[in-house]
Each structure stands twice: as structure tokens, then as C-alpha cells.
Amino acid sequence: MSAYYGYNSMGCQEDNEGSWGIGVYYGNSPFSLKPIEDMNIWDNRSAAWPIANPVLTCASVTDSAFPSNYVADPFLYAKDDILYMFFKSKNPITMQGDIRVARSMDNGVTWEQLGVALNEDWHLSHPYVFEYNRHIYMMPDGSGKGDLRLYRAVDFPLKWKLEKIILERSLIDTFIIQHKETFWIFGSYHGNLEIWYSRSPFGPWTPHKRNPVLGLPNGGRPFNYNGNFYRLAHDNERVHVFKIEVLTPYSYKEVEVDIGVENPTKGRNAWNGARSHHLDVQRLSNGNWVGVADGDRIHFGDVISRRVVGCGLIVTAGSVIFVIGWLLGLVKRFIPFAHNVKNKNSLLLIWERLKLRVRLNVNPNRFIGKFVISFLLIVSVVIMCVGFWYIYGGNGAEKPYPVDTRFSQFTLLAMTYDARIWNLKMYVNHYSRCASVREIVVVWNKGNPPDPNDFDSAVPVRIRVEKQNSLNNRFRPDPLIKTKAVLELDDDIMMNCDDIERGFKIWRENPERLVGFYPRLVTGPPPLMYRPEKHARKHNGYNMILTGAVFIDREVAFERYWSREAEAGRETVDEVFNCEDVLMNFLYANGSRDPTVEYVKPKWAIDTSKFSGVAISGNTQAHYRVRGKCLEEFTKIYGGLTDRKVEFGRRADGWDR
């Protein structure tokens, strides 16, 4: 999965081409396309509930024994209700593009990697595939050869033969279409759009009278819809669609229209947040439309820019250290010329006087001198650390983690009330930009609910107003939640998105468990006492995960919590206004003999309730006493937890240490 996806192999290594992936879209027209996650399609084999874009990445290719550093430029070809996707893939050995192909038997939901369709001694991209006279042809961009080549499939989809060099011109991002008995080539030459026409796709080709025509470079396959002809183009950031109103050998006119595809809202945390420059749409046999698009979360040159900035900062830090040494008189040997010249000129005299004056004012034996030198030393160390972070610390994107090369999404659920609205606004602003968050549901327990439009959110926010102020509402069944995964996260806990994404990955690998960030250990003999995390650390294990920050299966968890067997526990929760998370742990432990809890250690976490004074656990000792009583009560009803201990550090990824 690359530096982008966390993959460590020959393929998917971060380089200057960015972090490209390919996503699938569906709609009842080419102007109503929605990403696959909006269709709520599930894939149990890869724990994707629902499947989320991107559906194809360099990891998808690399894991199938065809190493790749990135994938882009997807083109579809439908044959016998089977979809074939031809796309550019960067070979990490030759560092040039070749053409790969994948196959889908379910209209683009899942893809099987078939292998390399076309490989030449030069860079290939933009594999435009079309049918003519019952033959299938491919016209890839191979501008490195300075010509335009047409290949014919001799054993579709993996074996192709050069049919003809149809144009001695290095056009890029080209396509051939037939319009009113004439074949047309659209392509770019040195950044300018050109049009050529012929009576046959094999030529000879005649340049358009207005070449170069005004227009953006091609961004995918053109298409016909409702009797109109449309061209896809790109501006290196997003795909645009133009309605072609006039196309003759002497004139050309196009008008931009709205393509209807929503732009990403999560910035670098979206798989296509930085740019997308290609879209191919096809009509399925059922009348609906499917589209494939590429996307990148990091702009071209990101690796180089980070290294340049990082090296510049390190050089700056070195310069500061040099100045410190000069002030201390430790670097005389590096500038000896002033001492070796017998007849010093005025410039050297000025230099010597400057050094003397500075050393008199910044004497390391005096307080002011020590202060200045210490300050400069601290600044240099900070600058150097920032420099190394730029080089080795990554690009700043918080990336999702795939399971079996597939991605998914979860619903974030927070329970709160009117006294904590300031917390909630900060909470929504932050977590809505995490890559895998699909929706934020706010369980509103008390007071006048806010307007969802009041939040600065990158995802939809839904306010669920409850009739009664009860902690049991946290786990109330909610049929409007579309994802299998729910992250129950208190509105006063702030963590980074990477920690959240790591927890989501671990939960997808263990969906039958409570996967969370705050471990506790319940030990016997009675009376049972509720203790902080350091108790679990001291005894190297845990048997409880607090549901203030936990991933759950909404169907299993909510059903257990609102079952008849849990009724007595819910009554206790309402009575003490506490312990709903303790009850959930007992219900899980009572429902399975396998480990029912899984811990993920966050890099950092901040409890913002410490600054507000509205937390129910503000009085720690009283809070712990109530929870101790809950432990005793739930043990009598549901059995114990003491024999369900899980050790820290048992996973190979080290995320539970």
C-alpha cells in the first residue's frame, strides 16, 4: 500500500508521481454519478461494509504479483457483461509506465488483476480501448516514440499486436471517435489541443483548419447522451465536461457543462483530494451508468519539495551552530585569513572589529552571553528537527488502512447536550476530515439541539434528539446508520485521524470485538474495584475497553444492549447515570468465549472536559466508587470478566503496546 497506503514491498514505494488510485462511480446518467460508498455495497470477503473508494490502488496490483508504484488513466471495455479496466501502472523496476488490465464480474464492485496487457521499451499511458469492425483496438499514449500507434487485440485482453503507426506526431491523451461518418482524433501537442480527421481510424489524417484549437487537454473517453456529444477534459486538478456543439473540418465549438460529480471535501485525507484528471463512463446492460476515475491525494513533486525544504532547514540549523561556535571562538581555524595577512586592508579590519565587538557583548562567561548562546542552540535544534521531519515525516496526509486491499467507512457517534456545544463544534470540525468517516451522528440528550448547518463539517451531520436524558441512548438502535462500523467517541476526546484509522483497520480484522483506545483491567477477588489504566499496565493486561472511544458492530452491539437480558443492566445505568460502557463489556464477554476486547494505543489523546468542568467523571474518586459498584452488580447478573485477560503487545504490528 505504499508510503501512501502503509505497504512495504517492491511496489507501492512513495515517489514523485504522487499517490494515485482509481475509484468507481454509479448513476442513472453520466451526470448523476455517485461514489461506490454512497451505493452501500458490502463485501464480506474483505470486511468492507460498505466498500469505499479507491477500489484499485498500487497495492491491489502489487499484491497480485505485479509490482506497481501507482495506477491511473483507467478505461473500461464491456464484453459479455464483464467489465475490463485498462489502466496505466508504473513499474517500480523500470520506473516507466506499462498497461495493466483488471476484470470485474459484478459491474465494477470487485476487480481481479489479470496482468500486463501491453509493455514497450518506452513509457505508456492513457490506454484508450475501442471497437471497430468487430475488432478491439488500443491506442495508448506512447509519445516518447514521437508517433501515435494503434494495437489490435489478438487474444483479448492480454495479447496485443501493433496494427499500424497511424500518425507521425507525439500527441498525448488521445482518443478516436466517429462523428457523422468521419473519424476524429483529439490529442494534445506541447500543451495545445489538436484535432485531426479521417475517413478511417487507420488514416490518412488531416489536421483541423483551426489547429491548435482552444481547449483543455483530454480527461477521458468522450460519450454521447440524449443525442449530444461530450468531451471530458482536465486542468490538472479536476475533470471537466464540455458539450461539443460544432465539429467540422473548419470549425469547432464546445461549451462547459456541470458534470455533477461532487468534489472531495477532506483535502489530503481524501483519496482524490489533491487532484483527479481522468474519467471514463460506460452504460451498463441494465441501463445504468458506471464510471471509473483516478485520483491523487498528494501533488506532483511532493517528495522533492519536502526534501528541498528539509535540507534547507538543516543547512540553516548548521549555520546557526556555526555562529554559536564563532561567538565562542571555536571556529577561528575556518576563517584564518585575517590572522595570516600582514597588511590588513580596511575590509579585514572591519571584520576583526565586528568579531571583537560581538564577543565582548556576547561573552559566554556572562549571563547575557549564556542566554543568547542557549537560545541560539535551542533554535538550531528545533530547526534541525523540523528539517528531518520534512524529509522523513511524510506528507501530512492522514491515510486510511486497507484490509485485503479494500477500503471502507464508519459512522462516528457522539452523545452530548447543550452545555458542551463548544466541545462539539471543535470535535465535528476535526473528525469529519478523517478519511474513513462517512457521517457524524450526534445523540442529543438535553437542551435545545443545534442546527446541523452550524457545524464546519466535511461530512453530513445528523442530530438525533432523545426524549430522555439517559446514557443508554449511546447504544440505541438507529436504522438510519448505513455502515456496519460505528465509532462511539466521547465529544471531549481529541485524537489524530491516524489513530482513528488504525483502530478502524484493527476492528475490520476483528469485527466481533470491542476495539478501542482506553483499556482497563478488572481483577479479583471481590470486592471488585474500578482502577485507571496504570493498573492494567502494571499487570500487563486488560479485559475491558471503555466505550468512550471504541469501534463496534452496530447490529451486534446495539441488539445485545437492548435485549431483554440486558434490561436489568440498563436500569442500573439509569439509576447511577454511569457505567453504560461497563455494561457493554459484560454483555460482550457473556456473548463469546473468544477475546472480546482489542486495544489500540493512541499516539496522543486530549480530554477537553478537563477545561470545561462538565464531565460526569469530574470527581474521580466518586466516579470510581460508582463504577466499582457496577462491577459487582454486573458480575452477579452476567458473570465475571477476571478470566478474560488479554496481554499488551501480543500483536505483530505493535499498535497495542
One of 98, 294, 499, 581 is an active-site residue; which one? 581
- In contact, 111 and 83? CB cutoff 8 Å: no
**What is the distance in angstroms between the CA of the first residue and the CA of the last residue of the chain?**
23
List, in sequence order, the alpha helices (H) in 393-468: 421-431
Collapsing DSSP to helix, strand or coil, 617 comes out as: coil
Report phi then psi at 57, rounded to 5: -135, 180
What does the DSSP 8-state code read for residue 480? T
Report phi then psi at 106, rounded to 5: -130, 40
Q: Among 51, 47, 28, 29, which residue's Cα sits nearest to residue 38?
A: 51
- In contact, 197 and 203? CB cutoff 8 Å: no
Give yes or no: 451 in active site: no
Q: Among 586, 602, 595, which residue's Cα sits nearest to residue 646?
A: 595
3-class SS letters over 227-279: CEEEEEEECCCCEEEEEEEEECCCCEEEEEECCCCCCCCCHHHCCCCCECCCE
Residue with cell 438535553: 446
- In contact, 46 and 59? CB cutoff 8 Å: no
d(CA 293, CA 276): 7
Backbone conformation region of residue 15, classed left if phi is above 0, alpha if psi is from -120 to 50, else beta: beta
d(CA 215, CA 211): 11
d(CA 131, CA 137): 6
Neighbour count for residue 335 (Cβ, 10 Å): 11
What does the DSSP 8-state code read for residue 199? S
Q: What is the DSSP string of 633-657?
A: HHHHHH--STT--B-TT-STT-TT-
d(CA 514, CA 419): 29
d(CA 579, CA 626): 8
d(CA 276, CA 261): 12
d(CA 550, CA 626): 21
Distance of alpha carbon 282 from its chain centroid, rounded? 27
- In contact, 68 and 51? CB cutoff 8 Å: no
Residue with cell 489524417: 205
CB-count exposure of residue 328 (10 Å: 0-12, 13-18, 19+)? middle
* Catalytic positions: 581
